[in-house]
Amino acid sequence: MEGRASRDGSPRGMLDTWHDERPVRRARGRPARPVGREEMSDVYELHIDTDVTVQLSECCREDAQAVFDVLDGVYQLEDMTNPSPQMATGPTTTVWTATFDTAGGRHQEVRPTHLSALVGATLTGGYHAVDEVEKVLAAGFDIQSLQSVSGDQETEARLLLASR
């Protein structure tokens, strides 16, 4: 790299790159364009801003399904993990997990939904997306906010859901 200069004539360091040396993405019928940090950042931020992971605990399968059905009627279900029955030697906690994309979905009206017992819910995702999911849950259930933890890009809200 020694002796090479940037476009403006200043010495070029090892971490500097030429814009025209970046990989190029070619889409059918479109001109080639460089794949840059900006594009990758946009995709990353899109997922941070719209995906919310919902973890339900302290509930039975039917109550977990009722909560997920409410969210699935409004948002697009991205991923769901059902706990598998395992041989346990002591008390265990079952956690039901699903990820919803708040940018997609059917956006159906939410009606009050019955739960057989209280359900603990943890929502994790971008600030706006978690807030939107919390509003949807408040339309279908009585909710009590237990705790909120905020980070640089994401927030986590802990709720207690009950029947209306």
pLDDT at residue 142 in the model: 97
Measuring CA to CA, which residue among 100, 152, 92 is closest to residue 121?
100
pLDDT at residue 30 in the model: 43
Residue numbers of the chain with a pLDDT score lower than 50: 1-46
pTM above 0.75, yes or no: no
Q: What is the pLDDT of residues 56-80, one digit of tens each?
A: 998 999 999 999 999 999 999 998 8
Q: Report d(CA 104, CA 53) in Å as an integer.
A: 15
pLDDT at residue 38 in the model: 46
pLDDT at residue 153 in the model: 86
155-162 β-sheet, strand order: 76-81, 95-101, 51-57, 119-125, 155-162, 142-150
